[in-house]
Amino acid sequence: MKALTILNYQWKDLIRGKWIFGYALIYLLITDALIRFGGAGPKALLSISNVMLLLIPLVGMIYGALYLYQSREFTELLLAQPLNRKTLFWGLYGGLAVPLSAAFILGTLLPMLYNGMFFGEQIASILLLLGLGLILTLLFTGIGFWLGLAFFEDRIKGLGFALVGWLFLAVLYDGLVLLTIFVLGDYPIEKPMLALTMLNPIDLARITVLLEFDISALMGYTGAVFNRFFGSFYGMITAVTSMLIWLALPLYGATKRFRKMDF
């Protein structure tokens, strides 16, 4: 309950800061424009998922770290109160992650609702997209918190790591994967390749999107391992499970650090 009270304070603070509205507005405008100009087809959903895969990790990580720095005084004040540290952590984390998720979901959902797209036949795809966005927001805000706590005294370093981390996961990692494929392509590397993508949460989310929208292309691949992986529900389940594990990891790290930290 106390966590909720803290969450509530954080929430009010965020609203005063107004940028959360800006964040929601970005999704609203993008989604609206995509549907308005591209039609309410799978193409709009694909573009939204592309934006989502790009923006959520960036915003989550940067703001995760930044928010800890900004609310430092507030945190220190609360630490002086008879409060469990765990409660305090979840209050702070929820205070950022919940509004961020809400901003994403509302921003994307509203245009779909008033365009009537949501009630079409693509409702499963839309729900998958929203769910993925939600998990990604929670996950990357968690990573942001972790980085923020790890470099609590050195903000530049914390933010720098958040930026570089994003760049690495979103772009460079795939470059390494591509390089590996072209260097070792003659060997049976499909299983290691799948494992490699499981190690990057952005890639995991991307694969989940592929499973939903590009299954006909994935099935065109001439390899038994991929076909078995993608062709069954097994692929989707593995991807989502790995993402949940990914979600737990930074949060576990961050809570551990937060509990032991000397502020």
Partner 1 sequence: MKGFNHIALAGVFLLIGSVASAQTITVSPNGEVKTIAEGLELVQPNDTLIIRQGTYLEHNLMVDKPVTIIGEGRPVLDGEKKGFILVITADDVTVKGLEVRNTSTSFMEDYAGILIEETRNTVIEDNRLIDNFFGIYLAETDKAVIRNNYLSASGERETSSGNGIHLWYSKDTKIEDNYVRGHRDGLYFEFVDGAHITNNLSEENIRYGIHFMYSDNCSYVENTFRDNGGGVAVMYTSNVEIIGNRFEDNWGSSAYGMLLKEINRSRIENNHFENNSVGLYIEATSRNEVKGNTFRQNGWAIKLMANSTDNMFSENNFIANSFEVSTNSRRNFNEFTGNYWSQYEGYDLDRDGVGDVPHHPVRLFTILVEKQPQSLLLLRSLLIDILDAAEKVMPALTPETLIDIKPQMDQIP
Instruction: Give the one residue of 70, 98, 214, 257 binding partner 1; rule: CB under 8 A.
Output: 214
By CB under 8 A, is residue 163 in contact with partner 1?
no
55 binds partner 1, rule: CB under 8 A: no
210 binds partner 1 (CB under 8 A): yes
Kindly indicate which of the ranges 11-19, 26-34, 113-121, 178-186 contains the residues binding partner 1, using the contact rule CB under 8 A.
178-186
Euclidean distance between CA atoms 150 and 157, whole angstroms: 10
Orientation angle between helical segments 123-150 and 201-213, nearest 10 degrees: 180
Q: What is the closest distance, in whole angstroms, from the C-beta atom of residue 90 to partner 1 in the complex?
A: 32
Minimum Å distance from CB 33 to partner 1?
14
d(CA 168, CA 145): 18
Choose between 234 and 252: whose C-beta lies nearer to partner 1. 234
* Per-residue contact string for residues 223-242; x = within reach of partner 1 by CB under 8 A: x--xx---------------
Query: Is residue 221 part of the contact set for partner 1 (CB under 8 A)?
Result: yes
Degrees, nearest 5: CA angle 53-54-58: 115
Rounded to an integer, what distance in angstroms lies between the CA atom of residue 187 and that of residue 62?
A: 39
Give whichever of 10 and 197 is closer to partner 1, judged by the CB atom.
197
Q: Which is nearer to partner 1, 193 or 249 (CB)?
A: 193
Q: Which two tokens stand for residue 251?
A: 């949060």
Q: How far apart are CA 172 and CA 170, in angstroms?
A: 7
Q: Give the residue with the Cβ less far from partner 1, 83 or 193.
A: 193
**How far, in Å, are 41, 42, 66, 101 from residue 144 at the CA level?**
34, 32, 8, 15
Instruction: Report yes or no: 96 and 137 within 8 Å, Cβ to Cβ.
Output: no
Note whether 189 binds partner 1 by CB under 8 A: yes
Least Cα distance to 2 among 76, 66, 89 occurs for 89
Angle, nearest 10°, between helix axes 233-260 and 123-150? 30
Binding residue for partner 1, selected from 185, 233, 260, 263, defined by CB under 8 A: 185
Q: Is 203 in the site for partner 1 (CB under 8 A)?
A: yes
Q: How far is the CB of 259 from partner 1 (least distance, A)?
A: 36
Q: Give the residue with the Cβ less far from partner 1, 31 or 75.
A: 31
- From 74-82, 91-99, 108-116, 203-211, span contacting partner 1 (CB under 8 A): 203-211
Cα(first)–Cα(last) distance of the chain, in Å?
24
The residue type of 54 is L
Q: How many other β-carbons are positioned within 10 Å of the β-carbon of residue 137?
A: 26
Residues forming contacts to partner 1 in the complex (CB under 8 A) are 38, 41-43, 46, 49-50, 53-54, 170-172, 174-175, 177-178, 181-182, 185, 189-190, 193-194, 197, 203, 206-207, 209-210, 213-223, 226-227
